[in-house]
Amino acid sequence: MTITDTTATETNDPIRNGVDTATLFATLDAVKQAPEAAKFQFRAHNQWVSGTHNRSTITDYSGVGEERSHERTFVFDADHPAVLIGQDHGPTPTEFVLHALAACLTAGLATIAAARRVKLTEVRSTVTGDIDLNGILGLNPDTRNGYQQITVHLTVKGDAPAETLREIVQQSRARSAVYDIITNRVPVTIEVNTP
Amino acid sequence: MTITDTTATETNDPIRNGVDTATLFATLDAVKQAPEAAKFQFRAHNQWVSGTHNRSTITDYSGVGEERSHERTFVFDADHPAVLIGQDHGPTPTEFVLHALAACLTAGLATIAAARRVKLTEVRSTVTGDIDLNGILGLNPDTRNGYQQITVHLTVKGDAPAETLREIVQQSRARSAVYDIITNRVPVTIEVNTP
């Protein structure tokens, strides 16, 4: 069961949870007709500042067959806190991963609930990631570099029974890009230029 | 070979690439004596705003045996662009993953280079992620939800031969938390509260 499991046409109150369900269903129909439209490439451009401090710019991407830009250019600093030999100019890179997971699950929740005619009143979450830095410090070869486990503590309220809300969470998990990236393997290639 | 492969004591010019190598080596020595100090928990707190728009707050974490806070509270919005049924109030969740990867590799590069007495003059990267949204749209069961591949285009300049710079990149990859999270599996648990 996916977000397409409700009627694909609705003219009364198509905006639900801030999601324009008419546009959502029209988009689904369009992609069904032209699956190539759903191929996107996202990008981040990063520049080292000093030490563990660096800055990414997110603006351009491609999708639906053409180059695109966000309405604004987004800029994010990352750093380490002093206890990890940085100056705390931004969150650690690993904290951005937790934000990405929370954001992906929450966006999916609102969209799927809208498609299923459920009005949400509140969605909030705390995502925790446990990490043993003996890994990245190279002090214990048996310790992985990344998170050993991540837990999402999610609160959802809306005009549907708890069971329905839980099913919507389950469907959001089943269709989350970031959940898939974290829980499964993504191949990463690093091309190095040393001019 | 890890970042501990140089002499653990240096009194002349301990700041290199903005990294205080004296503190770095002191930290490594301290963690060797007390490995439990390296257990950290990072957190993101997320609140749904409307539609695909939501907002994370990153401030508290634990490590070295106690509760800690960043010097500032960091707040990040995520959203989808209009073409993906959002209002473009922030990058997509998947774009934050690319930022996290670039930031992690870059922080590692600067730190490892400092430990190896290499002065960097420039590090910049573009990270691209290819995704087919037929996955998250539920239109093709054979299409994964997350990125099909990620490529890091990295430029590194410094006062060392290209071969040395490439070795430093390789070591950064080998000790990157976010690279590990993306290329390997992390278990994720979702606990749902429906009050």
Q: Provide the residue type at A111 as one letter.
A: T
Q: How large is the average pLDDT for residues B174-182? A: 98
Average predicted confidence (pLDDT) for chain A: 94
b/e sequence A103-138, b meaning 16+ C-beta within 10 Å: bbbbbbbbbbbbbbebebeebbbbbbbebbbbbbbb
Q: Answer yes or no: is pLDDT of B172 > 60.
A: yes
Q: Answer yes or no: is pLDDT of A5 > 60.
A: no
Distance CA A94, CA A97 (A): 5
Of A71, A93, A155, the CB nearest to B100: A93
- Name the pTM for this structure: 0.95
Distance CA A122, CA B47 (A): 8
B76 within 8 A of B45, measured Cβ to Cβ:
no
CA distance B126 to chain A (A): 4
Distance CA A41, CA B87 (A): 19
Helix (H) or strand (E) holding B124: strand B120-132
What pLDDT is stored for residue B13 in this prediction? 75
pLDDT category at B169 given cuts 50, 70, 90 is very high
Chain B contact for A60, CB < 8 A? no
A30 backbone dihedrals φ, ψ, rounded to 5°: -65, -40
A35 within 8 A of A133, measured Cβ to Cβ:
no
Nearest-by-CA chain B residue for A181: B146
pLDDT category at A12 given cuts 50, 70, 90 is low
Of A56, A64, A104, the CB nearest to B93: A104
What pLDDT is stored for residue A7 in this prediction? 46
pLDDT, tens digit, 9 for 90 and up, residues A53-108: 999 999 999 999 999 999 999 999 999 999 999 999 999 999 999 999 999 999 99
What pLDDT is stored for residue B5 in this prediction? 46
B78 within 8 A of B90, measured Cβ to Cβ:
yes
Q: What's the residue count for chain B?
A: 195
Q: B83 contacts in A (CB within 8 Å)?
A: 63-64, 68
Tokens of A165: 């809300």
Chain A contact for B90, CB < 8 A? yes
Q: Answer yes or no: is pLDDT of A11 > 70.
A: no
Q: Which of A3, A24, A31, A48 to mutate to test the interface with B (most CBs of B within 10 A)?
A: A48
- Exposure of B69 by Cβ count < 10 A (0-12 exposed, 13-18 middle, 19+ buried)? exposed
Q: How large is the average pLDDT for residues B139-154? A: 97
Residue % of chain B over a pLDDT of 70: 94
State the ipTM, two decimals: 0.95
Q: What does DSSP assign to residue A36?
A: G
Distance CA A22, CA A54 (A): 41
A93 within 8 A of B177, measured Cβ to Cβ:
yes
Q: B42 contacts in A (CB within 8 Å)?
A: 92, 94-95, 98, 128-129, 131
Chain B contact for A41, CB < 8 A? yes
B148 within 8 A of A152, measured Cβ to Cβ:
no
CA distance A39 to chain B (A): 4
pLDDT, tens digit, 9 for 90 and up, residues B99-141: 999 999 999 999 999 999 999 999 999 999 999 999 999 999 9
Residue B75 neighbours by CB distance under 10 Å: 12
